[in-house]
Each structure stands twice: as structure tokens, then as C-alpha cells.
Amino acid sequence: MSSKNLVIVESPAKAKTIEKYLGKDYTVKSSMGHIRGLPSKDGSIDVARNFAPKFEVDTDKKKVIAALKTAAKGATVWLASDEDREGEAIAWHIAEVLKLDPKTTKRIAFHEITKPALDEAIKNPRIIDMPLVEAQQARQALDYLVGFELSPVLWRKVRAGLSAGRVQSVAVRLVVEREREIEAHAAESTFKLTAVFTLNDGTELPAESPKKYVGAAEVQKILEAFAKSKFTVSAIDQKPGTRNPSAPFTTSTLQQEASNRLGYSPRYTMQLAQRLYEAGLITYMRTDSVNISNLALGAMTDYIKREFGEQYHQIRTFKTKSAGAQEAHEAIRPTDVTKQKAGADAAQEKLYSLIWRRTLASQMTPAKLEKTIITIDPSESKETLEAKGEIVVFDGFLKVYGRSGEDTLLPPLATGDTLQLLNATGLESLSRGPARYTEASLVRKLEEMGIGRPSTYASTISTIQSRDYVERGDIEGVPKEVQKLVLEKGKIAASKEAIQYGKDSGKLYPTETGKVVTDFLTKHFAEVMDYDFTKDIEEELDDIADRKKDRVGVLKHFYGPFHKLVEDSASVSRAEVAQARELGADPKSGKPIIARFGRYGPMLQKGEADDDNKPDFAPLPAGTTLDNVTLEQALEMFKLPRTVGKTKDGEEIKANIGRFGPYIQVGKTFVSIKPRDPLTITEAEALELYAAKLKADAEKNVADFGDGIKVLKGRFGPYVTDGTKNAKIPKETDPKTVSHEQAKKLLAEAPAKKSFRRRKKN
């Protein structure tokens, strides 16, 4: 027997939470995200028929739809998907598939899963907002047309399997352009001057010059003057200061702060936030707004005054920066401010704590600081030194949100006091270009430029990495030496220090594929890659949602010029795209050595292709690019594959570089040798790695039944495989005892791999 009311939400977790609050007259079911989508084939958007979409029911959603149809019989249906464009589209698709009238079907939305919010939503249902649905379908059509028409161009001109996207390609362009700025930067040398003084009680006081100096000779003269000087406190400047809390979290700022404070990627942050929301612990996590409801503000006021005292409370309102803010109408906040700790696991708990602290801090008083600068004058030089201190006089919001670093309390000194110089140092530093993007700073840049929507940033940044356009990792830098001059006990000593110039950790940098694709698209699809154009598209989507423009008009305005660019790109040659750069000639053969982008990525080529001879190919050396690889480096690579030695059985060991990095090969066995160099690895090192590989393979292979079926030890435990299908071995079963027949049975009973359509947030 069906209930009087059927509430349809997106996720099972959300359904379970809502069921706690609704009475017995309500059944809550999940659509498991989208139930229909655009199939990945030509013609899914019918351009000739006003860009009509041809939706299809996802194969794995047919059972879900059947269950929803059964539950909907005789019931009042309440569509309760998320309140954003994507959620509105899901509600519309459900109405279409269940044959419900969108003009009369009850649509409810809420920004937090609490009983008051649900009761309020039930009391005030609305109908499906068709302009929101139209805006989502326009975005979907734009992304489909760009991807489906532009990606094949990349396959033909650059490399098979590549893809392009309306937002992702522009995001890659940002990373590529930043890398080129860094590469073009000419390092400038300056010296920083620091000193350490000792006081009468033995306390040490560090200080530094507010200026930077050019050249070791200038620093040498200053240190010579310091060696003859007496040092006197000439001024003590104390200034009060304040530090104010930041606004509560939006989608974008949550991703940035979780990255900076917790080390979470934007995608992981959104996964955790989704679970917290579905569990009823935080408000909706896809929002551009920094508003907090009056009800929540009242609860926070009571909590802050009760827990910390009235002196810590200050009501604050923040202005939403984004002109197109149109998702949820509140910032991300806890649904219950009195709950300091929540979450199903440690990662969720950390993110919840961050949200709780940021929200509470936004309604607290500023921190009061006292900043002190002590100016120190040398008697024989005009160059002054400064010792700086900062202490927190009143912690205010920092009581909850914390601060980086500790108080720097300066010793009690008075004007005219003399100080004893312990040592002074002049250290050379080399200027660096602009900083590479982190995932957090790329999110901030995309938001500043109005590219995409904050709810899409996590998937965009994940996509450009998974598709090998951008990598996140460590940059080794270039070995350089800097000068150091130290004055101690009246003598100046000069030395040199080795540094890795340009070294970076955990930053985003483009791959060669990313550079080549960006250069091609920027040259031949300039409008699509234009930052302002991408921003304007987002504004037009907002206009559709606000009933200012219609979907067909926006798509026509975009598609005509875009399709013309696709047609014109047919005349572009692969040679132009390859960005070939001749490095010089091979001294032995006289053949040209060329660095270029090939069908499988960046590579080196010796000789030109003609009817009689085929060129030789080699990979780029590690740490080089098409732009900076030298002839000397390239010539070394043509020595590969290199014979390293032989095994005890007389098999030849060869070293080479492949798609996944350096390796050695013995027969049909390949062994990674990262981070070793294939040009220098010794026979002893190779034999050691080969032996370790054989041992690991032996331990992994528990049994081989000879017909393709094997028992293996995997990362998540023992399993049976036939090469295409895997089956877990029960914990209570010893994998060594599994027979051939048991293995076949386990494979036959194992479920087939599921395919599913990810929900794309708008």
C-alpha cells in the first residue's frame, strides 16, 4: 500500500535523513541523481530544431524509475531535489518520466535538512521553475556542442582521445600562461640584511633592514661599517591594530580554505560537504551567498554570549560579492551551532569543525593587536635595522578561529639603549616570477574572473588533471649558487650556498599536451578561449534563469560563429600544431634533431621523413620541455635503449624511457626505475630492482589455472580474475585453497561492473 505522499530526493543518504522528520504519511525515495541525460553520440542536440535535446533514460536507472512509478500511484508527489539549476532540471526530468504535470506538481526546496526547514517547505510548495530548467539545458547544450564538435578537431590535429570543454580549456589556459610567465622571468639578484643583537641579560633580539640591496659589494661596505659601529635604539613605535573575521563560507571560499588549512582537494572537499549536508549537519554546500538567516543569527548570538561572554559578540552582515549569485540563499553553516563536533569520520569532522569555526567567528568581535617596531641605528652607517613584534591584546574571533604563528613579544627597551651586535648576515636571493597556482588559488582566480560557477570548480580542476593537461606535484627547480656574507666577531666571511631555484611543492603546472592544446585552441578558437567571452556566457545563462533571455537565442548567438571556426580549422596542418623546433644537427650523421609534439605526446626526432629513410624517435629528457630542451640533452636520449648488462641466466637488461617514465626490460618483464636515470643506472642496481619485481609478482600470483583464470593478491585483498572480471575471495577463505571450480563459481556470481552518470553541478 502506497503512502499518501511521495517525496523524491536525489540521494539515498538525504532520503534517510528526511525520513526522520516527516511523519508516517510520507514515503521518501531517491532518484539516485539524474535519471535522464544526453547520450554521448552525434545528434543528441538537434541544432536544426532549435537545439532540441534528445534525452535518454540511463540504463542503470530503469529499476529506479519503475520503483518511483509504483510509489507514485495514488500519492501526492513532492519533488525535493536541490535548489539550483541542476536540481531543478532533475525535478523536471522526474516529472517528465513519471508523466506528472510540471505546472501543478508540488516542488519544494530547503537549504538545510532540519524539521523546521522541512515543515516550512511543505507549507509553501511551488511549481517547477522552468526558466531555471531552461538555463540548465542551455548550459548542457553549450558544453555538449563544444565538447562534441571541438574534441574531434583535437583528435585529428593533436592527438587521439583528447577533449575540450567550455570551462576546462580556459582553466588550462590560465595554468599554461602562468607557467610561461614563470619561464620568461629573468631572475634579479638582491641581498637581504639581517642581524642578531644580545642584551645585557643574554636575550637575543633579531632585526633586519627594511631595504634590499643590489650587489655583494654594497653589502660588504655596510658590514664593514657595522663592524666599527655602536648600535643604539633610536625609536620605539607602538601602534594598536585590529583584525576582523572573514565572511562565512561560500562554495568557493570553503574549497580554498579547506585546501589551505586541511590539504583537501576541491573535489574531496565537496564530497565531504555533500555528506555533511545529507546528514543534516550543514546547510546546502553549493552557494554564492554569504547571508545567514535571522533564526541562525539569533542562535549564534545566544551561543557566543553564553560560552564566551558578551564582549566576544558582534552582529555582522556581509555583502555577497558575486553579481550572479543565484544558487542557495544562505552561506554554508552548521544547522545547529551548539554542535561543535560532527561527522561520520575524521575527514568529515575536520571539515565540519572548519565550517563551525568560520561561521561562529563571523559573528564575533575583532581581535585587538599591538604592533611594535624598534628602530636600531649603527653609528658608522646610515642603514637602519628594525625589530618587529606583535601581540594579541584581546583575541576576539581568534578565540574560535585561531591564528597562524605566535605572539612576537619584544624585550623591554628604551630609546637610547645600546645593543651588542652578535652577528649580521647579507644573503643573496633571486627573484621569482609569479607563483604557480595551487588548486585553491586557481579556484580563487576562476571566481575573480567570473569563469564557470563555484559549484563547477571542483570537477573542472579534477578533469584537467585526469585528462593529462595539468599536473599537481613538485617542481625540482634548477641548481644555483647564491652569495652569503657574515659579520661575526669583527670579521666578514664570504661563502656560497647551493639552492634549487624555482623549486615548488604541491603546485599546478601544465603538461606538454596542455601547452600544445592551449596554443592550438587559443590561435584557432580565440573566441571560445577568451576569458571575457566565457564570463559573458555565464551571465547569459543567468539571464535565461532570470527570464531576460531565451535559451534558443543564446545558443544561436554562440553556435553560428563557433561552428564556422570548427569548419575553418580543417585547413590547419598537423605540422603547424606540432610546434616543431630544430635544436641542431647530429654530429655523427648530420641529420637535424627536432623537438616536437607527436601523436603520442612530446618527443625528439632525428632526421626528416622521406621515401627512403624513416626518422628515429626518442622521448624528452626528464625535467625538460619542448621549449627548453637543448641539443646536448637530446643527443643523449638517442643512446636509448641502453644495454645495462645481463641477468644470471644471460638475458639482456635494457634501460629506456616510456610513457610512464624510466624503466628496465628483461624479456617481457618491465620494471620501473624511478627516480633513477636510464642513462646512468648500473647493472647491480638493475639486477636488484629486477629481483624485487620477480619477488613481488610471485607473491601476488597465488594460483594460475592456465585458462586465464588466476588467484591474485591485490591492494584490497585476494581476488579471482579472468582478465576482464574480478571477484573478491571471502575473508574466511584462504586464497591458497581456492580450487579451479570455486574460482569459476566466484566469477559467475560476481556482479557486473556498474556504469553511472555523474551529476554535473551547474
Positions marked catalytic: 284
Nearest one of 675, 682, 719, 684 to 700, comparing CA atoms: 719
Cα dihedral 620, 596, 164, 61 sign: negative
Map grid coordinates 511549481 to a residue.
127
Q: What are phi and psi of 282, to 5 degrees?
A: -135, 165
Distance, CA of 641 to CA of 728 (rounded, Å)? 40
Give Dmax over CA atoms of the chain in angstroms. 98
**Which are the contacts of 492, defined by CB distance < 8 A and separation ≥ 6?**
220, 223, 224, 227, 485, 486
Q: Which parts of 440-490 are beta strand (E)? A: 470-475, 478-488
Name the nearest CA neighbour of 176 among 511, 444, 574: 511
Tell me if residue 374 falls in helix, strand or coil: strand
Give, for 653, the enclosing helix (H) or strand (E).
strand 652-658
Beta bridge partners of 207: 195
Sequence letter at residue 323: A
Residue written as grid cell 525515495: 29
Residue 634, classed as helix, strand or coil, is helix
CA 360 – CA 343 distance, rounded (Å): 18
The terminus-to-terminus CA distance of the chain in angstroms comes to 37
**Which runs of E-coded beta strand occur in 223-344?**
231-243
Backbone angles phi, psi at 47, to 5 degrees: -60, -40
Distances in whole angstroms, Cα of residue 230 to Cα of each of 213, 378, 380, 387, 421: 22, 6, 8, 17, 8
